[in-house]
Amino acid sequence: MKIALLGYGRMGQTIEKIAISRGHDVVLKIDKDDRDYDITKADVAIDFSLPSAAYGNITNCINNNVPVVSGTTGWLDNYEKAVALCKEKKGAFIYASNFSLGVNIFFELNKTLAKMMSNLSQYNVTMEEIHHTKKLDAPSGTAITLAEGVIENNANYDAWELNETNNKTSIPIVAKRIEDVPGTHSVSYKSEVDTINIEHIAHNRQGFALGAVVAAEWLVGKTGVFSMNDVLNIG
């Protein structure tokens, strides 16, 4: 495939290495908030840009009939507009807060546990996410996805809040920034007698990058709005 990388930071550079190792060509690398590029030279685009650039990148791809995979977080106020445009143009689009194959299994495990805990109101759920100091948004998109997974499957919760909360129906998400941490996410259910904890620890960026390339390979030739569950045939 001919791949456009929209965002060429550390993640984009890791994606490039994996894409080339899998026999693909990287034909476009956009490192800034720049709309002046020819996306049509690519078979598929992978967007790991800035929140301010993501929506423009995605709509540019859709308007030019280029399938697009996006892992940028912090732009989701415009997500439904991107979905509507994709359906209107009969494009192809995947957004995921995290493309790691392991994290997407973790998402499903989180939903299953939330459902099991729904009738056990003596347990209070909390979440923690730790990322490198260059991550701009907090909480992480992955943490938000985990919180949404609990809210959808556990009637005791209807919202999430960053850091501490006094609202018993809101999930507190503690966000920490520590240098050189690729990503750690934990979900804890605590009662007076015990704690149940599930955790995913990324050792490097390779898992995120590989998942994004696998998603791009899967998306080419398809029409519609998809998720990593479709790519991995889980959930």
Among 24, 131, 185, 200, the active-site one is 131
- Which stretches of the chain are assigned E, i.e. beta strand? 2-6, 25-30, 44-47, 68-70, 92-95, 124-131, 159-162, 170-177, 183-190, 195-202, 224-226
Q: At residue 66, what is the residue type?
A: V
Distance CA 103, CA 207 (A): 9
Q: The tokens of 37 are what?
A: 């590029």
Say whether 131 is catalytic: yes
Q: The tokens of 50 are what?
A: 């800035």
Among 135, 176, 190, 203, the active-site one is 135
Distance CA 119, CA 198 (A): 19
Residues 106, 152 contacting (CB under 8 angstroms): no
Bond before 139 cis per omega within 30 degrees: yes
Distance CA 83, CA 93 (A): 8
Distance CA 184, CA 232 (A): 22
Distance CA 110, CA 169 (A): 18
For 127, list phi and psi in degrees, rounded to 5. -130, 150
Could you list the active site residues? Answer: 131, 135
